[in-house]
Structure 1
Amino acid sequence: MISKWKLPILLFIILAYLQYAFWFGKNNIFDYQQNRKTVAVMQVENAKLKLRNEQMFAEISDLYEGSDAIEERARSHLGMIKPDEHFYRIVTDSSSD
């Protein structure tokens, strides 16, 4: 009669151990959920960085391939003008209210 109870008790002990490991052991369910949240945040950040990289590569490609992008940068960032071109600067008087 004692041997009849050994298998169910052994199975119950194994089940209890597995449940403990699942809920409270190393790499438990709570760690798993936290890691999933972290991965989701990182995926969003990676998507933003990937978009930024694509924009930078497109800009680099424009600079290599055509002079229009170079000219636009020279005009906007460096204030350069072409020969025989006139540049007008409009200054507003900010002291008169």
Structure 2
Amino acid sequence: MRIITLALAALLLIIQFPLWLGKGGWLRVADMEAQVAVANKKNMELKARNAKLDSEVRDLKDGTGAVEERARFELGMVKQNEIFVQIVRKGQTPPPPQAPADTGATH
């Protein structure tokens, strides 16, 4: 009777092995679900980034506001007959003045 009990217990363990550690076992499924969750999070972040870039591209293609804003802040450009005023706080040193952009055309 004792041998039958041990044999049945061993058989039960052998049957449980694929369920826990096999190709489609619970541990592997949990690991795959974690990987899918990480991939979904990354995809959502990339979709948000793509939407932002798409919006910026459409704004640059259709409107002049974005181009003007970039010219002002990144290149320090001003419109003709426009006065540039820079406010420097106490203890802050102003950035060096930028030379006017040369068009590179010589006649």
TM-score of the superposition, structure 2-length normalised? Answer: 0.66
The total of aligned residue pairs comes to: 82
Distance (Å, rounded) in 2 between the aligned partners of 1:78 and 1:89? 15
CA RMSD of aligned residues (A): 2.1
Structure with higher helix content = 1
Of residues 56, 61, 71, the one that matches 2:58 is 61
**Aligned mates of 1:60, 1:42 — CA distance in 2:** 26
2:58 partner amino acid: S
Structure 1 gaps of 5+ residues are 1-12
Identity %: 38
Aligned to 2:87, the other structure's residue is in SS state: coil
**TM-score (normalised: structure 1):** 0.72
Structure 2 unmatched ranges of 5 or more: 1-10, 93-107
Rate the CA distance shift 1:90–1:20 in 2: closer, same or farther, 3 A: same
Matched ranges for 1:1-40 at <5 A: 19-40=16-37
